[in-house]
Amino acid sequence: MAERTPSDLARETLKQLAIRRLAPTPENFRQIYDEISGSRSPQAFPEGPLRQILRVVPGQTPVQRRLLDQFEKAVTAHDWSAIQAVVVGYAKLGLSGAVTAEPETQAPPVAALPDELAEQIARLVENTLTGLSSDDARVHLLGTQLLQFLRSPAPPASTLQLMLANFSFRLSFAAEDQAAVRALLLELLNMVFQNMAALSMDDRWLSGQTQALVDATAQPLTLRRLDDVQRRLKDVIFKQTEAKGRMVEAQEQMKEMLSAFIERLGAITQSSDSYHTTIEQCAEQIARATTLDEITPVLEQVMGATRSMALDSRVAHEELNELRQRAEEKQEELVRLQQSLDQVSQQARHDPLTGSLNRKGLDEVMGREISRSRRAEIPLCVALLDVDNFKQINDRLGHATGDAALVHLAEVVRTVMRPQDMLARYGGEEFVIVLPDTALAAGIEAMQRLQRELTKNFFLKDNEKLLITFSAGVAQMAASEDSQDAINRADQAMYLAKRQGKNRVVAA
């Protein structure tokens, strides 16, 4: 029988794959081919897996680099014998610490991480695991194993490289998942605030606060922005709770007045029906009467019923007038309560004129930023600025123009400020700017940059350009002082800037 050619064997192999309903994968094809030919095909050389091993094999010392070079050449040449020799060389290196091929040199020991560096990396991994969700058990397992390895005696640097690569690869997926979760939560929060804004269009203050919440959640969140969102949300909840209480109270009082009105109206109707019945009876008696003596008592009865009806009508009129007056007084009281609540709500943490923080809001921000500055050991500056010649603006153009100038200044400040900077109205024409993570020199430069921006953005009053300038003092928080001490130092520097000619910035 003639020997079958490779092409015949290949066709038969494909036929058997179809008959046995096997996927035409290389492994299935090789197995069927070997079965038909009665021989065993040589295994493919695993160059890819060997090169992956090549990337993690240590090569710090001269001996290791020589063995690594031999390993790479053996993989390229598909030489199993050479690969075996390299593996044996690494094994001898690990057991004896010496290489027989180079007796004149002593191979140094495998490099180990310094204890301090290993502990710093361990703390980094520990902090990373703390911020990760518990859903991904694999990344937590890899992180725990890495922590145990780093805190073992003299951990080898080569092993750390492999374990860090595995951990960082898995960590990248966990980070992507958490970023997606944060983005979705922020989107949902933004939708809730948008709905609140749409439902509160009749209340200007509440609508403004909810719109501020919408704006705050429409951008990448930071801890400072979250704090601001929390403060605003507390104000909104307070306003809604008070409004609901007033509404319920007003509804109950209106119900009481309406019930009294209906009751009195019913009494009037009953009196009117009784009067009409009496008049009809009297009319019948008069029609039947034949003498004056018979008519006289009937007339007296008519006069009595008429007087009673007039008295009831007068009393009813007085009572209805009293109900109307009470309703008007209640309406005026509700309006006063609404105005008072609006004023209290507006002044909770923000200045109603400029929209900047007020004293209470400034105290909260300063407390938070001082704690963060000392915890993270980063600088913190406060700048106190005072509008130059503000009294002349009020005297010449009126207080309304002065208020508009302050609003203009606050708007320009917001365009120049960083997202983490905070603006507060300190009193009258004085403002405080909180500058986190800012040293004194950078704080002075920021105020000078704001002064230059004001010269580019004129304040307009009836087409008249007014140049608004300010004098400022800048103080960097010292470790031993509180917020008021730093503001007082900035205030003193501001007065020094005034004496030096205004429109200046002076360091405290």
pLDDT at 344: 54
Residue ranges covered by each domain of the chain: 6-37, 47-96, 115-186, 244-346, 359-507
Residue 338 three-state SS: helix
DSSP string of 77-121? TT-HHHHHHHHHHHHHHHHHS--TT-TTSPPPPPPB--HHHHHHH
Alpha carbon of 264 to those of 122, 251, 274, 424: distances in Å?
A: 83, 20, 15, 57
The CA dihedral of 342, 348, 352, 354, to the nearest 10 degrees, is -160
- Report the distance separating Cα 361 and Cα 230, nearest Å: 12
pLDDT at 23: 75
Widest pairwise Cα distance in the chain: 162
pLDDT at 251: 62
What is the distance between the terminal CA atoms of the chain, rounded to a whole angstrom? 107
pLDDT in tens, 442-463: 999 999 999 999 988 888 777 7
SS (H, E, C) 320-331: HHHHHHHHHHHH
pLDDT at 270: 67
Answer whether 369's CB lies under 8 Å from 435's CB.
no
- Each of the 508 residues of the chain gets a pLDDT tens digit; together they read 456 777 777 788 778 877 887 777 777 777 777 777 777 666 667 777 777 777 767 776 777 777 778 888 888 887 777 777 777 777 766 544 443 444 444 445 556 778 888 888 888 888 888 877 776 777 888 888 888 888 888 788 778 888 888 888 878 777 777 777 677 667 767 777 777 666 666 665 566 566 666 666 666 666 666 666 666 666 666 666 666 666 667 667 666 766 666 666 666 666 666 766 777 777 777 677 666 666 667 667 666 767 676 666 667 667 667 767 777 776 676 666 666 655 555 556 778 788 888 888 898 889 889 988 888 889 999 999 999 988 888 888 888 888 999 999 999 999 899 888 999 999 889 999 999 999 999 999 999 999 999 988 888 777 778 889 999 999 999 988 999 999 999 999 999 999 998 999 999 8
Q: Which of 429, 430, 445, 453 is catalytic?
A: 429
pLDDT at 137: 78
Alpha carbon of 214 to those of 188, 196, 430, 484: distances in Å?
A: 11, 9, 29, 33
pLDDT at 102: 44
For the question of whether the overall pTM of this predicted structure is more than 0.75, the answer is: no
Tell me if residue 256 is catalytic. no
The CA dihedral of 441, 442, 446, 447, to the nearest 10 degrees, is -20
pLDDT at 98: 41
pLDDT at 104: 43
Task: Given CATH 3.30.590.10, say whether it is the number of domain 359-507.
Answer: no
90: left (phi over 0), alpha (psi -120 to 50) or beta: alpha
pLDDT at 81: 72
- Report the distance separating Cα 149 and Cα 164, nearest Å: 11
Tokens representing 380?
A: 């913190």
